[in-house]
Amino acid sequence: MQTKLVPHLDGGELLTQRVATILRAADLLDVPVVVTEQNPRGLGGTVEGLLGERHRPIEKDCFDATRADAFLAALPPAPATL
C-alpha cells in the first residue's frame, strides 16, 4: 500500500479503505501486525493515514521480508506447544 503503487492498482482507493478497516480490526482485537515497505525511497512510503502510531513500517530492499533482520525481530513469539 505504497504511495507510488496504489494509483496503478485497479480499485486502489477501495483496496486502501479495506486495508484500513482490517488494520483497525486487528488493533481492536490485539492482533499483531508487522508492516513492511519495499524500497520506500523509490516506491514511496505507506499511503498517508493508513497506519496508526502502533504500526512502524520496516524498510526492506529485498522482496523476501525474512531477509530483513528488523522484520524477524518484529515477529511475535510462536505459541507454546503442548
Q: Is residue 1 part of a domain?
A: no
Please give the average per-residue pLDDT across 43-49, as a whole number.
Answer: 93
Q: Is residue 24 part of a domain?
A: yes
Number of structural domains in the chain? 1
Query: Which residues, 6+ apart, have CB-to-CB distance to 72 below 8 Å?
Result: 66
pLDDT higher than 80, residue 41: yes
pLDDT higher than 80, residue 45: yes
Q: Is residue 80 part of a domain?
A: no
Provide the sign of the torsion angle of the four alpha carbons 24, 40, 47, 12, taken in this order: negative
Q: Is residue 37 part of a domain?
A: yes
- Residue range of the domain that includes 10: 6-74
Residue 76's pLDDT band (cuts 50, 70, 90): confident
Distance CA 12, CA 7 (A): 6
Q: Is residue 32 part of a domain?
A: yes
What is the model's pTM? 0.80
